[in-house]
Amino acid sequence: MNCPKCTGTLEAKTYGERIVVHRCNSCAGLWCKPDVVIEVQREWMAEAELDIGDPKIGKALDGLDNIQCPEGHGLMQKTADDKQTHIWFEACATCDGMFFDAGEITDLKFDTFLDRVRDFLKGRRPVQD
Ligand SMILES: [Zn+2]
Ligand SMILES: [Zn+2]
């Protein structure tokens, strides 16, 4: 898959037995599904292994809008965690895939973010203003 934010390629990376994310070989952004985000939170230090990109590059790319789902579902929604509004990530309304810029998964406080992920899994969409 092609990275939605740069010209790099998303490559599958595994951690342990159950965690598979796709990481861009250029900007190190991470593409994953909500259930994987929950697994990353369960596995001690998984995010440190997977989220190896330079947060400065991630921050620069965070300003990019209107990115396309790498699985071909069209425009993704830019959304923020309610309680951590400095963290913006993109989510696909069709496949629930999420794209995190380098450094964002490490930066997340999982306890509040997981409520948001569970909303995704239940099929509710974040309200946009
Ligand atoms: Zn990239
Ligand atoms: Zn999609």
Least distant ligand from the CA of 68:
2
- Residue partners of 50: CB distance under 8 A and separation at least 6: 13, 15, 19, 21, 23, 30, 40, 105
pLDDT of residue 128: 57
Answer yes or no: are the C-beta atoms of 37 and 46 closer than 8 Å: no
Answer yes or no: are the C-beta atoms of 87 and 81 closer than 8 Å: yes
Least distant ligand from the CA of 32:
2
**Side-chain half-sphere CA neighbours of 125 within 13 A:** 14
Tell me how far the alpha carbon of residue 27 lies from the centroid of ligand 1, in angstroms: 4
Tell me how far the alpha carbon of residue 28 lies from the centroid of ligand 1, in angstroms: 6
pLDDT of residue 35: 87
pLDDT of residue 116: 73
Tell me how far the alpha carbon of residue 118 lies from the centroid of ligand 1, in angstroms: 26
Least distant ligand from the CA of 1:
1
pLDDT of residue 60: 86
Average pLDDT of adjacent 10-residue blocks, the chain of 129 residues: 96 92 96 89 86 90 87 90 75 92 83 72 60
Least distant ligand from the CA of 4:
1
pTM higher than the cut 0.85: no
Tell me how far the alpha carbon of residue 93 lies from the centroid of ligand 2, in angstroms: 7
